[in-house]
Structure 1
Amino acid sequence: MNFLTVDLAMAAVEEPSAKRQKIEEKPEDSAEDVSNGKEEEVEKKKPSGIPLICGSMNWDLMGREKSRVNTKPRKVEPAWTPQIISALSEVRVTDIIAGPCAAHSFFITDKGKLFGLGRNESGQLGLGNTIRQDGAIEIPFFVDKKVIGAAVGRGHSIVLTEEDGAYGMGENDMGQLGIGTNVGKGATVTTPKPVQLQQKVKNAACGFDFTLFVTSKGFLYSAGSSESGQLGINDNGEYIEGRKLFYTAHAVPTRVHSFFTKDPRTKEVTRVPNVLIRYVSAGQHHCLAISENDELYTWGFNGHGRLGHRTTENELIPMRVLHFRPGDKNSSVKIAKCSYGGCFAVNNLGNLYCWGQNQINRLECPYPIPVEDLYGWNVNDIGPGKNHHVVAADFSSIAFGKATTGELGMGHTVKSSSRPDKMHGVDGLKMIQCGAGAAHTLLLAADDDDESKEILKKLDVNDD
């Protein structure tokens, strides 16, 4: 990997056959100076709908060869096609939260209430215990708060509230909750605790053992393990103790100050000034961020080329993905999310791109390529997972990848699909959002017309 050093005053890049080049970073270039403390404008009212689920409900066993839990795993038939979640059928849901590393999920209602289900062995649901939650239940801790967002990782969660900031719960062995404390291996937090950030958090993303936070001013912070550079602070935190290799844990969120771009011809690296972030996403050990200028940055672990920089070398700082060019309607990024081992992005024309390892015809690519099977579709949302992915396009839900427990939503006869295909049972429904977790899929269906209501009436109800 090319060694990149970032200082408060300058940054430099060194390549095997090139001279060291210095990059000036002037204090007046700081994004903090140009933000003027401006808070994000009030968002428009979010559309709401009916949440659906398909895939495995064996939360303790998903993604494992053997169970490692303190409750007896249950064995139930998977939902082979999308089903209505009974506990949420009488509320209006505005957000569904799933993640490629997670076997638990959250739902946010139009009243700001938070519901959760799934694996809970580390207290990641914030229920004050470590008992598995088979059906959706409202999280009591947030009953008197207005929830505006959430994120889920392997064994930890972040919940964003309107009144008093962000909260973390679940695994905290690497300080990934950002609550200011961590006590090493086995550390868990079963009751939500405040994240140590004084600014309001508008967006968060959880990876395997780290977390990203975006404040209302557009500043990016990170906490947790820095093993592959996923914190974006130009340090992977390696240190040796007793002949063993360890990695530094950052229990307090650290500001990511600098963002860079590399000239594809000369390989010269320069700092991009005044970058403010509007959205972040996290995979296993890699990250992406979209700036308010619609620039796309990626960093962290780069196995299989999942960062999209045409290399497989890890990046310790956010580096711009050159394929997407702000202001160009053909290549300006609208949506981008991390899968477990790669990334997906949608441009302003609604075309879908992918890179890294993403289960499309078993192709691995270190730079963005179009998903040609979806040419002509207008992609509304994407839900990248680990072994399977889901796409909401026009009035269809499309899935592809490996699946043995119904997560593709195509019936019990379809175990995998290397090419995108429709979930025929919900064809004709417009999906507001979609998400892919460990061996399960979530969909948020619009029900604002008679035709949609008729389709929903024909679906089974999951009454766990």
Structure 2
Amino acid sequence: MVALERKRKVEDGEAGARKKLKSSFTTASFILHSYSKLPDINEMPVAKSTPLDIFVWGTGSMCELGLGPSSKNKEVKRPRLNPYLTEEKLNGTKIVDFSVGGMHTLAVDGKSRIWSWGGNDSGVLGRDTSKAKEVLKDMDGGDSDDDDEDGDLNEAESTPGLVENLPHDSQIVQVAATDNLSAVLFANGDVYAWGCFRCNEGLLGFLRDEIKIQKTPLKIKELKNIVQLAAGKDHLLALDSKGIVYAWGNGQQFQLGRRILERHRYRALEPQQFGLYNIRYIASGDFHCFAIDHNDKVYAWGLNQYGQCALTDSKGRLEDGSIISKPTLIPELSYKGIKEIVAGEHHSLALTADGDVYAWGRYDMKEVGIPKDKLPESTFKDQHGNPRSVPTPTKLQFGGKEGIKIKAIGAGSHHSFAVTDDGFVYSWGFADTYGPGLGPLDEDVEKPTRIVNTATKNEDIHLIGAGGQFSVSGGVKIEDEDAAEDRIDKYDELDEQ
């Protein structure tokens, strides 16, 4: 990618905002020596309890969809109810929370158990799948289906199963999934993890140079009183009750908030704080991260070549390999009441308490959801004049009319979601893998488009997430048929141009 330049006038108001944004970033040694004197400023979270119907869609050639071993389940073009996660199958309970990794999913049920499915090469499922049946297609079989690919999937990986060897003396309040690692946060502030981290050269490991792959849950003894986890592609963030942020895993793109020297690369496999304090919320994309402090200031760090950190350099430029090496204030997001941030490989979304969504980052796979004719002046273009990235957070519009408010957002590597306050889902972005859930499409989805299908038309969706080429949502069925029909009529009208 060539260096992209634009001239940017700094308005007086913005200049003033930059001056008043005092940093919550200090030296790590200062926090270390002051730790015992710092008060608790973040409350311990409580376990989620709303029973959810779980829907999956996209491409599942690595068992990502959790629909069982049949080869016919490798591609699902629109949301489909997962039959293995119903109340009947889970013995009187349902899923209440989940986290989606690159090629696997962790789901928590009402009995505080974790179910996992997806590719298990790195031990991310937390259970033994090595003895499972895997049937290859008989190419000479006369009754074989020509539409099948290369046979059935691994039975244990493609079917949700219980994670083994977890403690039972505390409730689960969050799960987190990277590409190659899984983690769980308990109500007592303890964190357990399993799997491994990878880097540009291949396997990095799980803990120092002692454990390469951890196949069962192991307590992370360096962490205590943790209130939130945030997962990247191959790194994790943790936030504690004192407002301090910890990071560990692969730091080659500065996603750990500090420089990792090659001779110390294994030390990066242990959680370490790096100078961020007074924080109330953390979030992460594949290679870039965010934090919001108690003064409503937003910080970003990590890979930024498409402006996914919502920052440019001092000359207003973006370059291939551009890095934000330490947490840096983002004036355009601060003081907006941001309550949630999600991010993919090169793009990011933010949701405000008022139900507005802002998007920024890479454009060419339409992951930011901004129509070409509505791109802001700040848009970078390549040497051929084609839009490449939008580094300025830009408010999205849903439907053809104003008035739609959003309660939840989600992001895969190159596709995105927004859930309306009454539970409909809008999606956009890279479409070849059916990740947006809009069926077979010839082109990527340029602007937020409502998912319309039989399985979810009467569902109030609460949670949504996505991986590399698949997506997962959780909702509650609307039992009042008249209310469900009224909701459909409302959005049919709102979507009219």
Q: Same fold (TM over 0.5)?
A: yes
In structure 2, relative to structure 1, the CA distance for the partners of 1:352 and 1:384 (3 Å cut) is same
Comparing both structures, which one devotes a greater share of its residues to strand? 1
SS in 2 for 1:111: coil
Q: Which amino acid aligns with 1:383?
A: G
The aligned counterpart of 2:59 is 56
Correspondence for 1:291 among 285, 290, 293 = 293
**Kept in 2: contact 1:434–1:442 (CA 8 A):** yes
The aligned counterpart of 2:270 is 252
Residues 1:346 and 2:348 are matched in the alignment: no
Shift of 1:368: 0.9
Shift of 1:111: 2.4
Q: 1:178, 1:188 → 2: CA distance?
A: 6
SS in 2 for 1:250: helix
Aligned ranges 1:252-291 → 2 under 5 Å: 252-258=270-276, 275-291=277-293
Q: Percent identity?
A: 21
| Structure with the greater alpha carbon radius of gyration | 2
Q: 2:404, 2:34 → 1: CA distance?
A: 37
The aligned counterpart of 1:335 is 340
In structure 2, relative to structure 1, the CA distance for the partners of 1:35 and 1:167 (3 Å cut) is same
In structure 2, relative to structure 1, the CA distance for the partners of 1:61 and 1:198 (3 Å cut) is closer
Deviations 1:405-442 (A, max 9, x none): 43222234566311111111124532111111121111
Q: 2:417, 2:26 → 1: CA distance?
A: 43
The aligned counterpart of 2:151 is none
Correspondence for 1:191 among 216, 232, 256 = 216
The aligned counterpart of 2:111 is 111
Shift of 1:176: 10
The aligned counterpart of 1:424 is 452
Q: 2:114, 2:482 → 1: CA distance?
A: 25
In structure 2, relative to structure 1, the CA distance for the partners of 1:350 and 1:363 (3 Å cut) is farther
The aligned counterpart of 1:305 is 307
Shift of 1:445: 0.6
In structure 2, relative to structure 1, the CA distance for the partners of 1:296 and 1:38 (3 Å cut) is closer
Shift of 1:45: 5.6
Give the unaligned 5+ runs of structure 1: 2-22, 63-71, 240-245, 259-274, 456-464
The aligned counterpart of 2:474 is 444
The aligned counterpart of 1:152 is 177
The aligned counterpart of 2:489 is none
Q: Which amino acid aligns with 1:136?
A: P
Q: How many residues align?
A: 394
The aligned counterpart of 1:317 is 326
Residues 1:87 and 2:84 are matched in the alignment: yes
SS in 1 for 2:425: strand
**Kept in 2: contact 1:159–1:166 (CA 8 A):** yes
Correspondence for 1:390 among 412, 417, 424 = 417
The aligned counterpart of 1:47 is 50
Q: 1:225, 1:115 → 2: CA distance?
A: 26
Residues 1:355 and 2:355 are matched in the alignment: no
The aligned counterpart of 2:163 is 139
In structure 2, relative to structure 1, the CA distance for the partners of 1:48 and 1:31 (3 Å cut) is farther
Q: 1:164, 1:138 → 2: CA distance?
A: 22
Shift of 1:325: 3.1
Q: 2:73, 2:121 → 1: CA distance?
A: 19
Shift of 1:302: 1.0
Shift of 1:250: 0.9
Deviations 1:98-154 (A, max 9, x none): 14xx11011112321111111111101111456751022221323735322111111
**Kept in 2: contact 1:87–1:137 (CA 8 A):** no
Aligned ranges 1:181-220 → 2 under 5 Å: 181-182=208-209, 187-220=212-245
Q: 1:144, 1:213 → 2: CA distance?
A: 22
Q: 1:89, 1:106 → 2: CA distance?
A: 15
Shift of 1:209: 2.2
In structure 2, relative to structure 1, the CA distance for the partners of 1:346 and 1:410 (3 Å cut) is same
Shift of 1:89: 0.9
Shift of 1:171: 1.9
SS in 2 for 1:36: coil
In structure 2, relative to structure 1, the CA distance for the partners of 1:252 and 1:61 (3 Å cut) is closer
SS in 1 for 2:165: helix
Residues 1:36 and 2:39 are matched in the alignment: yes
The aligned counterpart of 1:124 is 124
The aligned counterpart of 1:223 is 248
SS in 1 for 2:306: helix
In structure 2, relative to structure 1, the CA distance for the partners of 1:427 and 1:252 (3 Å cut) is same
Q: 1:230, 1:94 → 2: CA distance?
A: 30
SS in 2 for 1:430: strand
Q: Which amino acid aligns with 2:480?
A: D
In structure 2, relative to structure 1, the CA distance for the partners of 1:61 and 1:106 (3 Å cut) is closer
**Kept in 2: contact 1:48–1:446 (CA 8 A):** yes
**Kept in 1: contact 2:47–2:173 (CA 8 A):** no
**Kept in 1: contact 2:339–2:351 (CA 8 A):** yes
**Kept in 2: contact 1:447–1:453 (CA 8 A):** no
In structure 2, relative to structure 1, the CA distance for the partners of 1:164 and 1:128 (3 Å cut) is farther
Q: Which amino acid aligns with 2:82?
A: I
Q: Which amino acid aligns with 2:355?
A: G
Q: 1:169, 1:321 → 2: CA distance?
A: 33
Shift of 1:180: 3.9
Q: 1:315, 1:420 → 2: CA distance?
A: 29
Q: 2:33, 2:458 → 1: CA distance?
A: 48
Q: Which amino acid aligns with 1:309?
A: L
Shift of 1:226: 1.9
Correspondence for 1:434 among 464, 481, 493 = 464
Q: 1:407, 1:173 → 2: CA distance?
A: 24
After superposition, the CA RMSD in angstroms is: 3.5
Q: Normalising to structure 1: TM-score of the pair?
A: 0.75
**Kept in 1: contact 2:251–2:260 (CA 8 A):** yes
The aligned counterpart of 1:381 is 408
Q: 2:205, 2:36 → 1: CA distance?
A: 25
Q: Which amino acid aligns with 2:191?
A: A
Deviations 1:269-307 (A, max 9, x none): xxxxxx322332222211112223332211011111111
